[in-house]
Amino acid sequence: MTDLLLIHGRVVTQNPQRAVVEDGAVAVTGDRIEAVGPTADLEADYDADRVIDADGGAVIPGLINAHTHVSDILLRGAFAADRGLYDWLYNVKRPGTLAMTAEEHGIAAELYCVEAIQSGVTTFVENDTEVVWDGWDTIEAKLDAYERAGIRSVYGAGFADDPSDEAFRTLLADIEARDPGVEHPTPDHFTVDTETALAEVEALIETYHGSADGRQSVWPAPIVLATSTTRGLQGAYRLAEEYDVMTTTHVAEAEVEDQGVALSSIGYLRNIGYLGDRALLGHCVQVDAADVRLLAKTDTRVAHNYMANMRLATGYAPVVAMLDGGVTVALGTDNANLNDTVNPLSDARAAAAGHKGYHRDPGVVPAQRAFDMITIDGAHAIRRGDDLGSIEPGKQADLAVVDLDYPHLTPCPDPVFGLVYGAQGFEVETVLCAGDLVMHDREVLTLDDSRDGLLTDASSAAEAVVERAGIE
């Protein structure tokens, strides 16, 4: 017996042919897609326990957000305005997230998941870069929210194992002088020794990876190269291999390397053995043609965070060169108080248009390629291309239905073009993850609290955190 039949949709399969099935249907049994085809055929062949009529809407693979930060959603607002990367990071983000209690991290996680689900997201990769490794309270508060939300989470367990040098401490003092009233953490507040960091991450993997019916994953995530030792980076990649996961880090986001430096960040990672198909590198803005060739040769994946790079004015990652060179590139929404949404469709639109303007070439990053970056390429970027990212028999039943019956989506002869350039995100009506109905008729079904209650709690928590941290 088929569990669910989605009928009368414009099924955007994202299969190798990028086929779109008009008046199409998807049959779901258990957590898997059983069949895809015309509605008339599947209605004749399958007797389902439940039937959902997409009513002409686009049926798409659940969207994949390949790089994001969750807790600072409570810092969303005007606090990031007119700040560069280090100013925002050390005067807003880090003080704010450090001031949060475990309960407030849990509230942030719930708010994040509701917004993500309502945007059609079924998988996200969190980079938790403010972990204080003296307990798991804040981590567990978030993982509990993710499990209840019912979508797939990858928890990137961030660590720093290289203390700051004197030059960085001087720079940090100059940056923090802008906001003397903020409760700034000490420069090495998040630093732990390498053995402790790797042991904590390994314990977290053994405890939580594969939990929540396989929807929860844990990766080692050295935060940035500047705060990571070579042994820490090598240990992270070793753990990824040992536990069949991936590792992720921030690379070349804003630092413009001195022309006299003989070794780039990408070259350094190649030399120490961190590049490869288990590495997902966030940003990669300040990289050159030789770096791009190394990324392609080693099958290292990249998470492009277009909107955050634009908001902080860090520059344009050479994504067009990466795509042309065969690098797997996914899209991430990055920080929820920079973007300021967690909606991948919004970022796909911005990235597709922005790179055209930057290169003065309307042919770069077409709509289909931008949509690939939040579906099938996103799945390949996290080594899940075999079971996520497209609507094909045998794959996980991660699906979303997008209502196309709006003036701003009319006419819509090409649903992919319409989704990338017209959809706002609020048009998502139904979301399934592993065959389970997570949202229907725009109502999130998996989190207990009412939407009004959650928004009230989040607003109150945000106000308290900002006041506690001294952020103005």
- The ranges assigned to domains in the chain are 2-61+388-444, 63-381
pTM: 0.97
In angstroms, the CA 174 to CA 188 distance is 16
Residue with tokens 């961030």: 158
Quick check: 128 and 201 in contact, CB under 8 A?
no
- In this prediction, residue 257 has a pLDDT band, given cuts at 50, 70 and 90, of very low
Helix axes 102-118, 137-149, angle to 10 degrees: 30
Instruction: Indicate whether 258 pLDDT > 80.
Output: no
Token pair of 332, please?
A: 């991430």
Residue 404 has a pLDDT of 98
Residue 81 has a pLDDT of 73
- In this prediction, residue 261 has a pLDDT band, given cuts at 50, 70 and 90, of low
In angstroms, the CA 149 to CA 111 distance is 10
Residue 168 has a pLDDT of 87
> pLDDT exceeding 70 applies to what percent of the chain?
98
pLDDT tens per residue across span 384-405 = 999 999 999 999 999 999 999 9
Mean pLDDT along residues 454-471 = 95
Classify burial at 310, counting beta carbons within 10 Å of its beta carbon; exposed 0-12, middle 13-18, buried 19 or more: middle
Residue 77 has a pLDDT of 84
Q: How far is CA 147 from CA 69, 153, 209, in A?
A: 17, 8, 12
Q: How many Cα atoms are found within 13 Å in the side-chain-facing hemisphere of 58?
A: 29
Instruction: Indicate whether 138 pLDDT > 50.
Output: yes
Residue with tokens 């049994």: 29
pLDDT tens per residue across span 172-207 = 999 999 999 999 999 899 999 999 999 999 999 999
pLDDT tens per residue across span 82-95 = 899 999 999 999 99
Q: What CATH number was assigned to the domain covering residues 2-61+388-444?
A: 2.30.40.10
Which residue, 286, 277, 341, 437, is CA-closest to 124?
Answer: 341
Q: How far is CA 426 from CA 45, 72, 249, 268, 443, in A?
A: 33, 22, 31, 43, 12
- In this prediction, residue 78 has a pLDDT band, given cuts at 50, 70 and 90, of low
Q: 154-183 burial string, b = 16+ CB within 10 Å, else e?
A: bbbbbbbbbebeeeeeeebeebbeebeebe
pLDDT tens per residue across span 271-297 = 999 999 999 999 999 999 999 999 999
**CATH-assigned architecture of domain 63-381:** Alpha-Beta Barrel (3.20)
